[in-house]
Amino acid sequence: MSSAPITHLPSEPIVVIEPRSSWKALDLSELWAYRELMYFLTWRDVKVRYKQTFLGVAWAVIQPLFTMIIFSLFFGRLGGMESRTGGLPYPLFAYAGLLPWTFFSNALTASGNSLVGNANLITKVYFPRLIVPTAAVAAGLIDFAIGFVMLVVLMLYYQTPLTLNLLMIPVLVFLITVLATGVGMWLSALNVKYRDIRFALPFVIQLWMFISPIIYPTEILPPKYHWLFSLNPLTGIIEAFRSALFGRPFNWTSLSISAVLTLLSLVYAGFSFSRVERRFADIV
Amino acid sequence: MEINSIIKVDNLGKQYRLGVDTAPYSTIREVVMDTLKAPLRSLRRNGSDPTIWALRDVSFEIQAGEIVGIIGRNGAGKSTLLKILSRITHPTVGRVQLFGRVASLLEVGTGFHPELTGRENIFLNGSILGMSKTEIESKFDEIIAFAEIEKFIDTPVKRYSSGMYVRLAFAVAAHLEPEILIVDEVLAVGDYAFQQKCLDKMQDVSTHGRTVLIVSHNMGAISRLCQRCILLDKGTVLTIGKPSTVIEAYVAGGAQNRAEYLQPSSFDKDINLRRVAVIDEHGEVRNEVGYADVPRLLVEYEVNRVVKGVSVGLAVFTIDGTCAFVSADLDAQPELLNGRVPGMYVAEIELPAAWLNVGRYTVTATIASAAGGGTVYDNLEVLVFNVVDTGSPGSRFGIERKGILQPILVWTTTTRDT
């Protein structure tokens, strides 16, 4: 392994280290340069998660499936939600909501705690810090994909007709991933400064589920409050997810609001993250 | 300076705000309460908070292919400097220009995950240190061979012995091929043979034209490896130059309050300690003594009333609490057993040169009844001093010899006819 000695140096420095101004936008080209590290961190998260579990990857199915069964019993049967899903079998309705929700909530928890959890890396090695919360979200996508297989099985079982609406699925998965990344990255930065986040997060996530149309359709709410609910970016995405799966008409207004809010959350998170980023190593 | 500096550091400074950055993190409640309690204070807090400069006015240039050592006492700013150069933390003022790809090794095995196998960790750690996947793949066999863990490559590293763990971690790092390698005190781990292998590997790195910046307390390694040396003190550059000169300056500047302890007079005691110190042959207080120097331990005490059967003793301990030796003034002057007349006393012992091993020691001074198990009149156990390597036999081979002592003994070796 002999490589040629460096004979001449570049005339311009490769890296210049200077005090940073607070409001520098995130350097996306650098993020691209470190894509392999992102891949390895995602891979690590997935690998480690199921390494010592008996059921392994099956957990990716068990989690939404069992929640669906319990919800079908309590909300579907006992809560009388069965008749209000617009003709859809409640288990299918619930699972189609729980699958993206499980991804979203797991991604939020994982990325919210990611910077603090990887403090040993942050204080010892340089890389774009954004990789850490992003990789945590990406790891959740693997679970989502596995859970999706179960969804297909359920759809076949209930003989759901396939429509062109299904083409929207990738767009929706992209949207919810971006939303999870935005919120998760903001939370992870906040968590470095205020350790309250760790305790507040499970609670906030639980609340968020009940204000999103996971276990109930938006239609059961009084129409005059629908606009209020569509301010929750998850509302539009999850509704559209069901529309795409079950060939029902899309609520484009609600989905557009979600898309705009998602984008805004990402931009805001990006700025607030980069503002705190330079001090991570000093305070984490 | 030549034109082909690979690292240029200009007026670098890092300021920490005490009470904000030093508190690891805050809770929202604290922030809210602070703001409620003193809304005005939080407004002008930026100006009034005490700050410290961990690094100040640091400027130097490093040429391509140089191995440069950075030395200095704890808190001198070595780690802060490395962290800035590694881009982990940002400077408050100043500028660094790097004309090459940097890899930093501030810790061995950064990002190793105990649940993952050796193979998996090589990829993870390699990519964290900045290697590409193809680079890792091409060096994979070499890394395993260097670490000597072929058989355990598919075992989770949590089952590794600490030696294997360190070997694997260093093997990955040793195969980095950056233009600039920044290393922090990682040579202090692993067994001696492996340390030697790593030192060789590092030297190999620089003969390939790479630049190495290394922080170490191991003066033997520094003087053997480095062409130049930077001495930091209280955040500023004290000296830059040849390792031997800089190490000497480092050792000479060792005066620190911990190597001396003063105690006020207390007349209600019959006999009490006034001063205990580690000094050199000129009587200067020394926090660091060279291995080849003659350190002295000094005790000053005052006798207010005549007491009989008392001894003044000194004990030296290694930093892990093992007693190296105990010595008492009665050993040399048994007549003191009969009592000392009131007044000030100065007692001194001289330790042989090239005797105590390189390392950190604490000193305890005790005035107690000579019979043992009796009264302790006064006791001080606060002194700390370091024996730094200025050419111990072990350092010649780049290793740290075990033991409390590292004496140079007379060996007689003859051949015998069979």
Q: What is the 3 state secondary structure string of chain A?
A: CCCCCCCCCCCCCCEEECCCCCCCCCCHHHHHHCHHHHHHHHHHHHHHHHHCCCCHHHHHHHHHHHHHHHHHHHHHHHCCCHHHCCCCCHHHHHHHHHHHHHHHHHHHHHHHCHHHHCHHHHCCCCCCCCHHHHHHHHHHHHHHHHHHHHHHHHHHHCCCCCCHHHHHHHHHHHHHHHHHHHHHHHHHHHHHHECHHHHHHHHHHHHHHHCCCCCCCHHHCCHHHHHHHHCCHHHHHHHHHHHHHHCCCCCHHHHHHHHHHHHHHHHHHHHHHHHHHCCHHHHC
Q: If you measure CA to CA, which chain A residue comes closest to B17?
A: A282
Per-residue burial over B130-158, b = 16 or more CB atoms within 10 Å of its CB, e = otherwise: bbeeebbeebbeebbebbebeebbeebbe
The answer to whether B212 contacts chain A (CB < 8 Å) is: no
Q: What is the pLDDT of residues B63-100, one digit of tens each?
A: 988 889 998 876 788 889 999 999 888 899 999 999 98
Residues from chain A that touch B93, judged by Cβ atoms under 8 A, are 19
pLDDT recorded at residue B37: 57
Q: How far is B342 from chain A (nearest CA, A)?
A: 56
Q: How far is A11 from chain B (nearest CA, A)?
A: 8
Reported as a pLDDT band with limits 50, 70 and 90, residue A59 is confident
Residue A9 pLDDT exceeds 50: yes
The answer to whether A37 contacts chain B (CB < 8 Å) is: yes
Which of A243, A202, A236, A207 lies closest to A96 in space, CA to CA? A243
Per-residue burial over B218-234, b = 16 or more CB atoms within 10 Å of its CB, e = otherwise: bbbbbbbbbebbbbbbe
The answer to whether B21 contacts chain A (CB < 8 Å) is: yes
Residues from chain A that touch B35, judged by Cβ atoms under 8 A, are none
Hey, what are B413's tokens? 């070796």
Residues from chain A that touch B92, judged by Cβ atoms under 8 A, are 19
Percent of chain B topping pLDDT 90: 28
Higher-pLDDT residue of A21, A44: A44
pLDDT recorded at residue B179: 85
Those residues with Cβ within 8 angstroms of residue A251's Cβ, 6 or more apart along the chain or in another chain: A236, A239, A240, A243
Residues from chain B that touch A195, judged by Cβ atoms under 8 A, are 25, 27
Residues from chain A that touch B132, judged by Cβ atoms under 8 A, are 36
Q: What is the pLDDT of residues B214-253, one digit of tens each?
A: 887 666 677 778 889 999 988 999 889 998 888 777 766 6
Q: What is the pLDDT averaged over residues B192-217?
A: 73
Reported as a pLDDT band with limits 50, 70 and 90, residue B122 is very high
Q: What is the pLDDT averaged over residues B273-286?
A: 89
Reported as a pLDDT band with limits 50, 70 and 90, residue A4 is very low
Q: What is the pLDDT averaged over residues A149-157?
A: 93
Q: Could you give the ipTM of this predicted complex? A: 0.83
Residue A168 pLDDT exceeds 90: yes
pLDDT-wise least confident of A56-65, A209-218, B2-11, B378-387:
B378-387
pLDDT-wise least confident of A66-80, A133-147, B17-31, B380-394:
B17-31
Q: Which of B62-76, B98-112, B301-315 has the highest mean pLDDT?
A: B301-315
Question: How far is Cα B318 from Cα B232, in angstroms, rounded to an integer?
Answer: 26
Q: What is the pLDDT averaged over residues A57-69?
A: 86
Residue A143 pLDDT exceeds 60: yes
Beta bridge partners, B364, equal: B315
Reported as a pLDDT band with limits 50, 70 and 90, residue B256 is very low
pLDDT-wise least confident of A235-244, B1-10, B322-331:
B1-10
Entry pTM: 0.71
Question: How far is Cα B376 from Cα B311, in angstroms, rounded to an integer?
Answer: 10
pLDDT recorded at residue B359: 87
The answer to whether B22 contacts chain A (CB < 8 Å) is: no
Q: Strand, coil or helix: what is B56?
A: strand
Same topology, domains B5-253 and B260-396? Answer is no
Mean pLDDT of chain B: 82
- Domains of chain B, by residue range, sit at 5-253, 260-396
Which of B223, B273, B234, B248 lies closest to B381 in space, CA to CA? B273
Q: Cβ–Cβ of B129/A44 closer than 8 Å?
A: no
Q: What is the pLDDT averaged over residues A55-77?
A: 85
Reported as a pLDDT band with limits 50, 70 and 90, residue A135 is very high
Residue B54 pLDDT exceeds 80: yes
Beta bridge partners, B102, equal: B180
CATH C-level class of B5-253:
alpha beta
Question: How far is Cα A73 from Cα A66, in angstroms, rounded to an integer?
Answer: 11
Max alpha carbon distance in chain B (Å)?
92
Residue A50 pLDDT exceeds 70: yes
Pick the CATH number of B260-396 from 3.20.20.80, 3.10.105.10, 1.10.10.60, 2.70.50.60: 2.70.50.60
Q: What is the pLDDT of residues A111-128, one digit of tens each?
A: 999 999 998 888 888 888
pLDDT recorded at residue B347: 94
Q: How far is A58 from chain B (nearest CA, A)?
A: 19
